[in-house]
Structure 1
Amino acid sequence: MILNIKVKAGIMLYALLLSSLFLLLLQFYTNQVISYQKQNQALLTSSRAYLMAEYVRGKEEKQGEVNFTQGQVRYQRENNQLIVTVLLDNREYHYNFREEFSSSMD
């Protein structure tokens, strides 16, 4: 009788140990997936902001503002630089582009 109770307790402890190990692995995996998704979202937002800044780079005006469906871009030219501020998802991204002048030989 005593041996039978010890065996049942051993099986229960073994099952508890295995379930706790499984839960630790599952928690680690879900944390990795969540951090991967956050990193991808941040990269996507940053890429959108850079593309919006690149679009404004071709404008000829000295300063201005362009509104997109997902954000807003303000730009200003000064001292051979284009300073661009992109407001996207309640975050600001700042870019400085150097103006390159092409000299044509006639």
Structure 2
Amino acid sequence: MHAVIPYATAALLFGLGVYGVLRRRNAILVLMAVELMLNAVNLVLVTADVTVTAALGHRGGVFALFVIVLAAAEVGVGLAIVLQFYRMRAAVQVDEVALHHEPEAR
């Protein structure tokens, strides 16, 4: 197997993920784009594990499992935040999220 093909695929996946994070307004689609980036990193880790096993041993698969666990935690927390925001505002547009709370005038 040529190592260039998985690396090029990972670069394409990561580029699509970055594009999705920068251009999408829907929070669910942004989370999906982040998942694409994490899957690209997993592909790089597993490919590096297969191609460079003589020097370091099999560690890429272990790191890939940690990234999968991190992705699962990110999805759980991210979806909880998005669902709570949807319940409050009935929209999940990222650019409509108020990052600060203005005090009420008395």
Quick check: TM above 0.5? Answer: no
Larger Rg: 1
Structure in which a larger fraction of residues adopt helix:
2
Greater RCO, CA 8 A, separation 6+: 2
User: Normalising to structure 2: TM-score of the pair?
Assistant: 0.31
Structure in which a larger fraction of residues adopt strand:
1
